[in-house]
Amino acid sequence: MQHISSYISKNKERFINELIQLLKIPSISADSSYAKEMLTTADLIKKSLLEAGCDKVEICETKGYPIIYGEKIIDSSLPTVLVYGHYDVQPADPIELWDSPPFEPIIKTTKLHPDGAIYARGACDDKGQLYMHVKALEFMTKTNQLPCNVKFMIEGEEEVGSNNLASFVENNTEKLANDIILISDTGMIANDIPSITTGLRGLSYVEVEVTGPNRDLHSGLYGGAVANPINILTKMIASLHDKDNRITIPDFYNKVEKLSQEERAEMAKAPFNKEAYKKALDIDAVYGEKGYTTNERNAIRPTLDVNGIWGGYIGEGAKTVIPSKAYAKISMRLVPNQDWEEITSLFTKHFKSIAPKGVTVEVTPHHGGQGYVTPINTIGYKAASKAYETTFGKIPIPQRSGGSIPIVALFEEELKSKTILMGFGLDSDAIHSPNEHFGIWNYLKGIETIPYFYKYFTEMNN
């Protein structure tokens, strides 16, 4: 790729400023009071894709927030790359824990980001990472070096389960036809240890409701004589793990993919510093399923976690009450071969079966998706690996991630193509947390690396 470094250094300030403009709009998909901002964000992305050289960009309406589709087709006999990303972001709360307002981006330097990082909700997940692709396209079109066709599909509902993307994909398989799907919505090990994500976990997300008496009761008059839904719910939740931290739901592990000793040994080669890991989180010990390392626990093993729990009196002071209801939100991260709908029903059946007499239990599934693993012996992986090698000067390490992008498995099913996950964020970038940020070095490195993927992928397809 000719002139990529000089193009980036010449346009660096503008690249950063454009991303800052995008980050200023609070595109929170979970909160309907930001519906207008969602549409403004979609418009801005459309405009930026047109400016970057797309010939056609459409805002495609859905039952929820629109999907932006853009393309530049130079020659139908050449390969086509489909870029996916999401313009919605997580809610900013707890807002009081941010050091600067989440939608007023600022640049600060940190130990891991000596060149500065942009602090804002969505900086890394996923506006910053998706915008790298827009700027990479700009470079390739402005310097006449786009080697193949490119399509963009940018959705606004990833953080709430991609509810309308599946039908969009199913109804537009021809329009979305491609040779490879490219996504930057994951991370890498460290700036000097590049890695390519080769796996994502699946997800089953449910909400449970335990109901006891028909109204909140005086805890003196009734305490000890009726089941307290919060006492019961916490007991039920506690019983979902055994002493080895294995999940107790019958048949939960039946389909879990077993990795060979060789595969586990290969995984163990990825650099990991347990002391630094604990220090970064201010914890005195790691925790998890017996018999597995930290990297295994958060990538190749399934989990069950309570994401939120509430009920009873949580206001100021004390109130003596036995609540009528207790609630929890529970997520299970799944690994390849586990089917999320099957797991959801195993959970439901089990959770209801462990409820004692005196309460009723309801389980409501929220959303879910299958896990994904991508082989490393494909042209797509090899092209990505060579692209990192070119710009980082090191061969990237293949590594499975614990996170989920549930729609990736559906892409493969519907569009029959593999996905390459070229993420440039770091785990410490605090996605979904207060003070989310994205390193400027990472942002620019992404813009530099992506065009090489196009180049090598096109060459290797010949």
- Sites of contact with ligand BES (CB under 6 A): 125-126, 158-159, 161, 185-187, 200, 203, 401, 403-406
Q: Which option in Mn ion, ligand BES, none does residue 154 bind, with CB closer than 5 to 8 A by kind? A: none
Round the CA-based radius of gyration of the chain to a whole number and report it. 24
Kindly state the smallest distance separating residue 393's Cβ from Mn ion, in Å. 28
Query: Least CB distance from residue 273 to ligand BES, whole Å?
Result: 19
158 counts as catalytic: yes
| 88 carries an active-site annotation | yes
The residue with its CB nearest to ligand BES is: 403
Residue 187 interacts with, from ligand BES, Mn ion, none (CB under 5-8 Å by kind): ligand BES
Q: Indicate which of Mn ion, ligand BES, none lies near residue 429 (CB less than 5 to 8 Å, by partner kind).
A: none
Residue 95 burial (10 A CB sphere; 0-12, 13-18, 19+): exposed
- Give CA–CA dist 453/81, Å, rounded: 10
We find the least distance from the C-beta atom of residue 381 to Mn ion, in angstroms, to be 21
Regarding 436 and contact with Mn ion (CB under 5 A), the answer is no
CB 69 within 8 A of CB 153: yes
Of 18 and 157, CB closest to ligand BES: 157
- 125, 138, 157, 429: which one contacts Mn ion (CB under 5 A)? 125
SS3 string, 74-113, reads: CCCCCCEEEEEEECCECCCCCHHHCCCCCCCCEEECCCCC
Query: Residue 25 to residues 64, 100, 105, 194: CA-CA distances in angstroms?
Result: 18, 15, 10, 31
Nearer Cβ to ligand BES (159/448): 159
Residue 38 binds which entry of Mn ion, ligand BES, none, CB below 5-8 Å type-dependent = none
| Burial class of residue 51 (count of CB atoms within 10 Å of its CB; 0-12, 13-18, 19+) | middle
Q: Which residues ranging from 183 to 202 are in contact with Mn ion (CB under 5 A)? A: 185
**CB of residue 12 to ligand BES, shortest distance in Å:** 25
The label of the residue with tokens 């506006």 reads: 127
Q: For Mn ion, give the closer residue by CB, 84 or 347.
A: 84
Pick between residue 195 and residue 417 the one whose CB is nearest to ligand BES.
195
Q: How is residue 65 annotated by DSSP?
A: S
Q: How far is the CB of 200 from ligand BES (least distance, A)?
A: 6
Crossing angle for the helix pair 4-23 and 35-52, to the nearest 10 degrees: 160
Sole residue written with tokens 């008496």: 213
Among ligand BES, Mn ion, none, the one that 186 touches (CB under a kind-dependent 5 to 8 A) is: ligand BES
Judged by beta carbon distances under 5 to 8 A according to partner kind, the member of Mn ion, ligand BES, none in contact with residue 161 is: ligand BES
Instruction: Provide DSSP, 334-400.
Output: E-TT--HHHHHHHHHHHHHHTPPTT-EEEEEEEEEE--EE--SSSHHHHHHHHHHHHHHSSPPEEEE
Name the catalytic one among 18, 71, 88, 429: 88
Reduced to 3 states, what is the DSSP secondary structure of residue 241?
A: strand
Query: Which listed residue (125, 155, 158, 159) is catalytic?
Result: 158
- Comparing CB distances to Mn ion, the nearer of 40 and 433 is 433
> Which residues are the active-site residues?
88, 158
- Residues lying near Mn ion in the complex (CB under 5 A): 125-126, 185
